[in-house]
Amino acid sequence: MQVIRFIKDWTLPVAIGTGIIVYLFFALMPALDGFATAAEPVFDTMLPTFMFLVLFVTFCKVDYRKLRPVAWHLWIGVFQVLTVAAVVAVIMAFRLVGDSLILAEAVLTCIICPCASAAAVVTQKLGGNLEEMTTYTFISNLITALLIPVCFPMIDQAADIHFFEAFTLILYKVFTVLVVPMILAYLVKHHAQRLCQRITSVKDLSYYLWGCSLLIVSGTTMKNILHANTTITFLLVIAVCSLLLCLFQFACGRVIGSRFGQTVNAGQALGQKNTAFAIWIACAYLTPLSSVGPGCYILWQNIINSWEIWDAQRKRSCTRLQS
């Protein structure tokens, strides 16, 4: 029972640690190379499946009448645009090349990528507003779809990217990842209410599904780090920069949100990033090594999420004891 309780309390760190350990086990055992090669496409299919299920279960709990933009959405979006512009300006002003450019690109991908699709799951665990977070997830993806085709050709003249092509490709990914599970959840919620009640009655179902997806992502992150063609020192520099950026974005989001009474929502909206998307754009349009930045960011943001969830549960327990 203590083991089960520990896993429930620390689902995210357990998922991260398990993913890393499992990958290292297969990577360091030559006898398992054949199985690892055969299993790789299976895990590649499982990840989007888990993410689809996470959002479907989450959207089954959404009150669709409350999906509308609010004031803090504007300021978080403006902050994202300004920080992206600042990083691009530094790259162009100092004409960064080599490791300096790779480091700047790693930072940029962690800023320009949209709010994580699973941010609504953590927000709900922390007592935030599910509908406001869901709305901002769509807004954030639209901002990213506009920024990438504009910014990337400016910092990498070799980037083979055209505005309309990149914009439509990103919107297509948004549609498959966000819109499809939302439409399906809406149909279930309004036309199969008994099924919807059974889904929503399972406590923290979306949270544990997200833990499963995080296990796969953590293994992939470790793979990218181990196969990075650079020095350990430079990898540590990228990791530290991604940690500082993660803390900075969470803190700035909470400060902005506090002005509107939405500290939790705004903090998660700005700090919790769709790092799988960031890794994809880094590999597709920038220096592939820069994908280590969002790969490390995955670990940092989920450690922060774990602490936030633990702290929220501790405060609720103290409140119950006092009452």
Q: Domain with 13 in it: what CATH number?
A: 1.20.1530.20
Number of domains in the chain: 1
**Percentage above 90 pLDDT, the chain:** 34
Backbone angles phi, psi at 273, to 5 degrees: -110, 155
Give the model's pLDDT for residue 220: 75
Rg (CA), the chain: 20
- 188 contacts 180 by C-beta, under 8 angstroms: no
Range of the domain at 293: 2-322
Give the model's pLDDT for residue 86: 97
Amino acid making up residue 190: H
DSSP-assigned letters across all residues of 31-60? GGHHHHHHHHHHHHHHHHHHHHHHHHHHHT
| Residue partners of 25: CB distance under 8 A and separation at least 6 | 32
Greater model confidence, 301 or 156? 301
pLDDT band of residue 133 (cuts 50, 70, 90) is very high
Distance (Å, whole) CA 229 – CA 245: 23
Question: SS3 of 115, please?
Answer: strand
Give the model's pLDDT for residue 300: 92
Amino acid making up residue 132: E
Distance (Å, whole) CA 139 – CA 69: 9
Average pLDDT over residues 41-57: 79
pLDDT band of residue 142 (cuts 50, 70, 90) is confident
Question: SS3 of 273, please?
Answer: strand
- Is the pLDDT assigned to residue 157 strictly greater than 70? no
pLDDT band of residue 252 (cuts 50, 70, 90) is very high
For 165-207, write each residue's pLDDT tens digit: 777 777 777 677 778 888 999 999 989 999 999 998 887 787 7
b/e code 231-243 from CB counts within 10 Å (16+ = b) = eeeebebbbebbb
Mean of the per-residue pLDDT values of the chain: 85
Amino acid making up residue 87: V
pLDDT band of residue 35 (cuts 50, 70, 90) is low
Highest-confidence segment of 187-196, 225-234, 262-271: 262-271
pTM: 0.84
